[in-house]
Structure 1
Amino acid sequence: MAEHNELGKLGEEMALEFLRKNGYEIVETNWTFQKAEIDIIAKNGNVLAIIEVKTRSSIEFGLPQDFVKPKKIQLLVKAVDAYVTEKNLDIEVRFDIIAIHKEGKSFVIEHLTDAFYHF
């Protein structure tokens, strides 16, 4: 597996652990619809959090959250619409980003709630 894929997988595992520690109930991971993949779908109270995880080995070229581009946001919105319809959900939806980057030998995790779109 390519090094960036391993880093991405590690980032998703760290994000899941972070969310659980903060009281989130994990509903789905890596849910796909057409060309879109939702990294994590979690419940936090009466909110369905759609979470994009971005992990970088350094912030030399920008913060992890800066790599969530408009095309990705468009795909996520489409996928979430399909998910909510398929599951027949009537719930508030929020889009979050968990940005992770390496700092020395450890990682910094930042949870950005309501990051780019709100239903």
Structure 2
Amino acid sequence: MAAKDDLGRVGEQRAAAYLSDRGYDVLDRNWRCPAGEVDIVASRAGLLCVVEVKTRTSLRFGHPFEALDDRKVRRLWHLAHAWIDAHPGRAVHSRVRLEAIGIIGPDPRSGMLEHLVDLR
């Protein structure tokens, strides 16, 4: 596995733990369908939260949230609805919200973590 893959995997593990510690119920991780992949699907207070995780070792190539352009956000909405369609018994929520977690630092276990709660 490439170092980039390891970095992303460790970042996603930390993000899932962070969400769990804040009362989210992590329903799915790395869910794939023909349209793409969702990093984390979680539930909290009646919301279905689709969470994109971006892990970077530094800001050399920009902030992790800069990768979340309009095209990526539209794709995440599409994937959120695909997850709901694929999980009719588990997707009983009144609302869906996109979120993002950015982790910056050479070690994602201790790097700076930022949580963007409502990605539009």
Which bracket does the TM-score occupy, shorter chain normalised?
Answer: 0.7 to 0.9
Aligned residues: 116
Alignment partner, residue 96 of structure 1: 99
Deviation at 1:3, TM superposition (A): 1.0
Query: How far apart, in 2, do the equivalents of 1:87 and 1:61 lie?
Result: 36
1:95-119 deviations in Å (ceiling 9; x for gaps): 0000100078930111101112xxx
Alignment partner, residue 42 of structure 2: 42
Q: Which has the higher contact order (CA 8 A, sep 6+)?
A: 2
Deviation at 1:71, TM superposition (A): 3.1
Name the amino acid aligned to 1:113. V
Deviation at 1:67, TM superposition (A): 1.3
Structure 2 unaligned spans of 5+: none
The TM-score normalised by the length of structure 1 is 0.87
CA-based RMSD = 1.8
Give the alignment of 1:8-87 within 5 angstroms: 8-87=8-87
Query: How far apart, in 2, do the equivalents of 1:103 and 1:90 lie?
Result: 38
The TM-score normalised by the length of structure 2 is 0.87
Name the amino acid aligned to 1:46. G
Deviation at 1:35, TM superposition (A): 3.1
Identity %: 33
Q: 2:56, 2:104 within 8 Å by CA — same for their partners in 1?
A: yes
Name the amino acid aligned to 1:8. G
